[in-house]
Amino acid sequence: MPVTETSHNEDTKTLTMVAQFAAPPERVWDVYADPRQLEKVWGPPTHPATVVDHDLVPGGRVTYYMTGPEGEKYYGLWEVTAVDAPVSFSFRDYFADENFDIAQSLPGSANTYTFTADGDGTKAVYTSVFDTAEGLKTVLEMGVVEGATAAIGQIDDLLAER
């Protein structure tokens, strides 16, 4: 599994995950920059993603839904705030309804993903800062660490394909 570390801090409302990949940062970047690759790894294997819109530029949006084993759909969106290809990007992440309107009853977070050369590979750091400590607790109880670990775990196979 590429995830090497996970931590959360309720005082700073932060969840951090670190992963290692056997590919250069430019190749790992491509996974997020290409919607067809992103949908292969965004949801855990039991909840594959479908990317609807993908505009990975400051002010852009990425909309998607994950489909569960019984056909149920879970919608989400990113509001992209910064892009420094192929090093990092930042976005607000939200749960959404089927029209991709933000679900006000579920927590949002500010996220930064960074990709740094590390030997022959890449160290990826995924940082999420929630609006409230309760929001962080909510996603932890929903299984975000397990789901994200499984999703990130799919990246190695995708990297090996190319």
Percent residues over pLDDT 70 in the chain: 99
Give the pLDDT of residue 90: 98
Nearest to residue 25, comparing CAs of 161, 92, 119?
Answer: 119
Residues with Cβ within 8 Å of residue 142, at least 6 apart in sequence: none
Tokens (6 digits) for 129: 């800062």
pTM of the model: 0.94
pLDDT band at 77 (very low <50, low <70, confident <90, very high): very high
CA distance linking residue 147 with residue 74, whole number of Å:
13
Residue 74 tokens, joined? 């879970």
Q: What is the mean pLDDT of residues 4-14?
A: 96
% the chain with pLDDT above 90: 95
Query: Is residue 48 classed as helix, strand or coil in its secondary structure?
Result: coil
Which pLDDT score, from 0 to 100, does residue 162 have? 64
Find out whether 79 and 61 touch, Cβ atoms under 8 Å.
Answer: yes
Task: For residue 14, give every residue at least 6 positions away whose Cβ sits within 8 Å of its Cβ, in sequence order, or none.
Answer: 8, 127, 128, 129, 130, 136
The strand order across the sheet containing 73-84 reads 3-9, 14-21, 121-130, 109-118, 88-96, 73-84, 61-67, 49-54
pLDDT digits (tens, 9 = 90+) for 81-97: 999 999 999 999 999 99
Please give the pLDDT value at position 99: 97
Whether 23 has a pLDDT exceeding 80, the answer reads yes
